[in-house]
Amino acid sequence: MSAEPVVSVRDLRVYYGTPRGAVRAVDGVSLDIGAGEVLGLVGESGCGKSTLGRGILGLLPEGAVSDGQVLYDGRNLVGMSVKALRRLRGPDLGLIFQEPMTRLNPLMRIEDHFRETLDQHEPGLTDKEVRKRSLETLGRMGIPPTRYRQYPHEFSGGMRQRIMIALALVLRPKLLIADEPTTALDVIVEAQILSILADLRDNFGTALLLITHNLGIVAEACDRVAVMYAGKIAEEGDARDVFAEPAHPYTRELLRSTISLDTTELHSIPGAPPDLIDPPPACRFHPRCPDAMVVCATKDPVELALDDGRRVLCWLHGPEQAIPAGGTTPLEREEIAVADEA
């Protein structure tokens, strides 16, 4: 992995306007992704993972506003013109959507999808060069040349997903965001997709943001993991460290909810992710947290860097000057004592 990140996200915010108010889908996220690195982004549905991926690329619907910095090649993508962003998407910044059948035009052959993509970004290529590049990329995905002129409905779900990956890779982007690339695929095809992503990292130095619900995929394929909850990054660090000893209660509860061959009873996190129009005050996880303290409901947690390089947004880890031993301030301990006596 390169020491210099391919993309640096700093205090990124993405809000959606609604009649009820602003949905704070991404609310102050910072992270880096280096060349040849796979960063896994996990969390429950509705926590802002897909919005973060699209916010990095500037692919936001009408009514959405963004703020902060997405630094790529010395430029801030936030606030950049649509025309300038379109020039970067494809050759520099790629996206693999989930549900490929909804992204591939059913009236266009696979060759037409590739021709359209390459003509848009590299108009100087001849038909022969377009065909050569397309077939080479499809070949790396395990799709033979004999299927180049077929329509999307003639492929299985796993092969359509490989075509989507090939369409993203044919322009050789430096950053690739994969949004649930293995959704609804069986475990054999899932393993093939993960092998392809590993090849991108090892042989092409692609920086990859892998958005998924599947913690097993993160453990197998990712170098680092960022755990997202209610629009914020709760914990981020080396995947092995996070899985071996989760620092944030939310990460721990997510891991406990994962089913494995050793599972003897089911576990789930009580409640549901909060309404991001009116999220809970202070720590957004405190209404569901088994380790919640009084301070968690009254003060925003401070992000700390742990000794192993992880970042965690939780009062359980300090800072010591704000949270003395026992997890509460003297005033809060007095309030708890009064409440207990009552």
Per-residue pLDDT tens for 141-180?
Answer: 889 999 999 999 999 888 888 898 889 888 889 999 999 8
Q: Looking at domain 5-239, which of 3.40.50.300, 3.40.50.620, 3.30.200.20, 3.40.630.10 is its CATH number?
A: 3.40.50.300
Domain chopping of the chain, boundaries? 5-239
Burial 94-130 (b: 16+ CB within 10 A, else e): bbbbbebeebbeeeebbbebbbebbeebeeeeeeeeb
Kindly report, residue by residue over 171-228, the tens digit of the pLDDT: 889 999 999 887 767 788 788 878 888 887 887 788 999 999 888 889 888 999 999 9
The per-residue pLDDT for 208 is: 94
Q: What are the helix (H) ranges across 79-186? A: 82-88, 110-121, 127-140, 157-169
Q: Is 273 helix (H, G, I), strand (E, B) or coil?
A: coil
Q: Which two tokens stand for residue 46?
A: 């509705």
Local confidence band at 336 (pLDDT 50, 70, 90 cut-offs): very low
Mean pLDDT of 130-148: 92
